[in-house]
Structure 1
Amino acid sequence: MNPFRRNVLKSATGAGVVAVAVAAGLLKPGQAMAAWNKAAFESKNVSDVMKNLGVSSPADSKDITIKAPDIAENGAVVPVEVTSNIPGTTRIAILAEKNASPLVGNFNLSNGALGFISTRIKMGQTSLVRAVVNAGGKSYTAAKEVKVTIGGCGG
């Protein structure tokens, strides 16, 4: 069988299942879309990001671990893992402080989800990668410097 034909059939079947779920009222289109904090993502500096995320004076925490390379050979694809060992973690935000738009990810966690995020981010230059964690109504932060040798944001 032609692999292209097989992929088209798989895609059509998947789209059909989603359409039936929406038509039956089992899935609302808004449920499939993540919440969007436009003001925070469009902020041009860290203090504005923090304000738009509703974070004021976060405490430094050793219970937050950021795993990222010390030197990123390509700023277009920088792997970052954030682990929060703070009980009741409800949100993890990742910022690349010297990016034109510092907020690169904002992840809401619920129902006792493990405080762990793994993603790849884009960095324009060497800067701190900062994780901001909300837990128990308080905010905590940790940072790690990542040196970028080839810029990813237009560099």
Structure 2
Amino acid sequence: MNSKRREVLRVTAVLSLMAATGLITEAQAAEWNKTAFDGKSVAEVIKALGGSGTEKSTAITFNAPDIAENGAVVPVAVTSTIPDTEQIAILVEKNPNTLAADFVIPAGTEPFVSTRVKMGQTSVVHAAVKAGGKWYVASKEIKVTLGGCGG
């Protein structure tokens, strides 16, 4: 397990160095899914990511606080035990742009991500996992006491 983690860290370091030195061009960086990040609803985002809908799953562990004191930095972590997990996305329903983060999970790596998202107000947050060509979801309402999107 540690060797896989080390490999991911090594690849991340190499890609960061390539980006810093200009070896990764702006055209390559522009390959991100703009349509998905511009989506205004969960259904729009899932469709833009290539899905036709979602199915609730208990095989997704979604860790986030019940109450976020500062909406500018809400910690979330997602772990999937669904076989062949390919992608993990974090969606915040009431944000201006629903898709907050999208991660491609390389084959053979542990399907776990941890990040911080910005939330403007109390909202339902979804952890969407793509595995075997299907999308699965776990959801949680997070109450925000201090807005993070300009508040």
Aligning the two structures, in what range does the TM-score lie when normalised by the shorter sequence? 0.7 to 0.9
Q: Which amino acid aligns with 2:135?
A: S
Q: Secondary structure at the match of 1:48?
A: helix
Q: Secondary structure at the match of 2:82?
A: coil
Q: What is the Cα-based RMSD across aligned positions, in Å?
A: 2.2
Distance in 2 separating the partners of 1:103 and 1:59? 18
The structural deviation recorded for 1:135 is 0.7
Mapping of 1:70-89 within 5 angstroms?
A: 70-89=66-85
Q: Secondary structure at the match of 1:41?
A: helix
Distance in 2 separating the partners of 1:111 and 1:76? 32
Distance in 2 separating the partners of 1:147 and 1:121? 13
Gaps of 5+ in 1: 1-16
Residue pair 2:55, 2:136 contacting (<8 A) in 1 also: yes
Please, what TM-score do these two structures have when normalized by structure 1? 0.78
The structural deviation recorded for 1:34 is 8.0
Counterpart position of 1:69: 65
Alignment: residue pair count: 134
Among residues 102, 115, 126, which one is paired with 1:106 in the alignment?
102
Please, what TM-score do these two structures have when normalized by structure 2? 0.80
Q: Which amino acid aligns with 2:80?
A: S
Q: Is residue 94 of structure 1 aligned with residue 95 of structure 2?
A: no
Q: Which amino acid aligns with 1:75?
A: G
Mapping of 1:15-54 within 5 angstroms?
A: 18=18, 29=25, 33=29, 35-54=31-50
Q: Which amino acid aligns with 1:143?
A: S
Deviations 1:62-92 (A, max 9, x none): 0001100100000000000000011110000
The structural deviation recorded for 1:141 is 0.6
Distance in 2 separating the partners of 1:56 and 1:142? 17
Counterpart position of 1:135: 131
